Structure 1
Amino acid sequence: MTDFTARRTMMVDTQVRPSDVTKFPIIDAMLRVPREAFVPARMREVAYLGENLDLGASRVVLAPRTLAKMLDALDIEGDDLVLDIGPAHGYSAAVIARLAEAVVGVEDDPALVEEAQRALGDAGADNVVMVEGALSAGAPDHGPYDVILVEGAIEHLPEAITGQLKEGGRIACLFSEDALGVIRIGYKIDGRMNWRYAFNAGAPVLPGFERHAAFTL
């Protein structure tokens, strides 16, 4: 029988801590949330690999290092409301749930929303709600948000998303730039986005966040 607890500890010790993620709440959350419960059954054995898990259709579960470093840079606090765009089966939302007051996850597949909500319930993440809708539209009915996390690469960030960020709020995005992927943290100051470099990572561009999306009517 697979010892997922041991794999979880190894993930934190070999992928997260060496990436300069030292905040106890993040380490604790990643030690406690069973990543294998938030992937398709066929992928449970590879749930703790140090790379993105390919779900098909340009969707992935972000590598543990990438997620941990994004959370570290966002510095989520206990009274924050967080929008998690594209959490797939809900792993990132379950981790964030241990850091924030509440999490809203948005997915465009009703079956995936149902699966994620069930897995989150089983994990005791009762401060997470999953909603169905286009990823690029966010979840305006529940906002505005203190923090927004985008679970995949983007070429273009729709104004619909930045419009849901509170003044003084922050957002983590993986910008796809030629062959590079760059994580930047954006801060909303006086209604405008101010970006700073965080680190490099890679992922496919999320549907609805392609560059041409800026020019469609």
Structure 2
Amino acid sequence: MTDFAAARHNMVESQVRVNAVTDSRVIDAMSSVPRERFVPMSRQSLAYMDEDVPVGEGGAPRFLMEPRVFAKLAQLAAVGPDDLVLDVGCGTGYSTAVLSRLAGTVVALESDGDLAARAGATLSDLGVDNAVVVAGPLNEGYAKQAPYDAIFLNGSVGVIPEAFKSQLKDGGRLVAVVGDGISGRARLFVRSGDSLSSRDAFDANIKPLPGFQAEESFVF
């Protein structure tokens, strides 16, 4: 039987800390969230591996982001304890559980109804009471609760849809891996008035989110 507590400790020590993740709040959150609860039982032994773990059954393939990239993106987002965060493509809810320990409130957006239901149930079981899971197209964001202090994208995207700009507060941050799933760069976008600036942060190759094709969106 897998010792998940030991596996979680090893993940943090060998995949997170050694990759320039120094934010103690991110480290503490990832040390406390049981990642194995967010993957199918048949794959729980893979939950702490340093790779993307499949979580979806049928439809568009969905994955739990590899710990190294997830931790670096979470640190890049610089989420504060009073922040309102939009978690795009929450899947089974792992990212939401971690972000809920960093933020004041998390709105978790998921397009797959089955995954959204699983996320809501697991988060409830774990006593997460400052997050809500909502259903809808990922590339449209969730304007109903906007504007957000931070937007977190759970997968690589070809481009950032224009809709996300208007859903950020002035000074708000969006973090995403922009690329084709084979090669990509993590980028930080910051809204300042009516403009959105960006900078590259680090190389990252993770699985893509559905619905972010270049012909449907704009690059900022």
TM-score interval for Structure 1 and Structure 2 normalised by the shorter chain: over 0.9
Distance 1:8 1:112 in 2: 23
Distance 1:156 1:133 in 2: 19
Offset at residue 204 of structure 1 (A) = 2.9
Offset at residue 41 of structure 1 (A) = 1.7
- Residue among 81, 84, 89 paired with 1:81: 84
Give the letter aligned to residue 48 of structure 1. Y
Is the Cα–Cα contact under 8 Å of residues 148 and 165 in structure 1 kept in the other structure?
yes
Give the gaps of 5 or more residues in structure 1. Answer: none
Distance 1:47 1:115 in 2: 16
Aligned to 1:17: 17
Identity of aligned residues (%): 42
Distance 1:42 1:211 in 2: 35
Per-residue CA deviation, residues 6-62 of structure 1 (Å, 9 max, x unaligned), is 000000000000011111111110110000001122211100001111346242211
Aligned to 1:203: 206
Offset at residue 117 of structure 1 (A) = 0.6
More displaced stretch, 106-115 vs 146-155: 106-115
| Aligned partner of residue 175 in structure 1, secondary structure | strand
2:113 maps to 1:110: yes
Give the letter aligned to residue 8 of structure 1. R
Moved over 6 A (4+): none
Aligned to 2:184: 181
Aligned to 1:46: 46
Is the Cα–Cα contact under 8 Å of residues 81 and 145 in structure 1 kept in the other structure?
yes
Aligned to 2:35: 35
Offset at residue 177 of structure 1 (A) = 5.5
Aligned to 1:191: 194
Is the Cα–Cα contact under 8 Å of residues 111 and 138 in structure 2 kept in the other structure?
yes
Per-residue CA deviation, residues 70-112 of structure 1 (Å, 9 max, x unaligned), is 1111111001000000010000100000000010001112221
Distance 2:25 2:156 in 1: 25
Distance 2:207 2:155 in 1: 6
- Residue among 168, 172, 186 paired with 2:171: 168
Distance 2:21 2:78 in 1: 11
Offset at residue 205 of structure 1 (A) = 2.6
**RMSD across aligned C-alpha pairs, in angstroms?**
1.5
Is the Cα–Cα contact under 8 Å of residues 181 and 208 in structure 2 kept in the other structure?
no
Is the Cα–Cα contact under 8 Å of residues 87 and 96 in structure 2 kept in the other structure?
yes
Distance 2:52 2:106 in 1: 22
2:63 maps to 1:60: yes
Distance 1:64 1:178 in 2: 16
Give the letter aligned to residue 78 of structure 2. D
2:123 maps to 1:120: yes
Is the Cα–Cα contact under 8 Å of residues 150 and 173 in structure 2 kept in the other structure?
yes
Is the Cα–Cα contact under 8 Å of residues 60 and 203 in structure 1 kept in the other structure?
no
Distance 1:177 1:108 in 2: 20
2:146 maps to 1:146: no
- Residue among 210, 213, 216 paired with 1:213: 216
Distance 1:132 1:150 in 2: 15
Distance 1:177 1:115 in 2: 28
